[in-house]
Amino acid sequence: MDSLKPFDPNDIEETLTRIVTHRGERYLLFPFINAIGTTPKFESISYVIAGPSATIEDFAALSGLALRAAEKLGWFISFNTPWLMRLSDAENMKRTSQRRAQPE
């Protein structure tokens, strides 16, 4: 995947999140692709918020949860889709992309 770039969870903002209401609670969701297992799957990290919209503090708390989720892993982004993966897998993808880009 040529467009995969390192991503800092501290950069989570409105365009990468959704707010949903479920069973009377409002959640700030950070959807991402979990590429840790053999098959990638969509997941999200959620944080309960108090008001109708997220505050700076809510985004900071959500970023902290994303940082903890990536212990010994890496966050990457492709266009506007965050990916959580092993650092070795990301490096392998980068090498493969570089080989494809080299003229034969």
pLDDT band at 87 (very low <50, low <70, confident <90, very high): confident
| pLDDT (0 to 100) of residue 25 | 95
The residue ranking higher by pLDDT, 91 or 34, is 34
Residues 6+ apart with CB under 8 A from 22: none
**Domain locations in the chain as residue ranges:** 4-98
Per-residue pLDDT tens for 32-68?
Answer: 999 998 999 999 999 999 999 999 999 999 999 999 9
- Separation between Cα atoms, residue 49 and residue 82, nearest integer Å: 22
CB-based contact 49:26 (threshold 8 Å):
yes
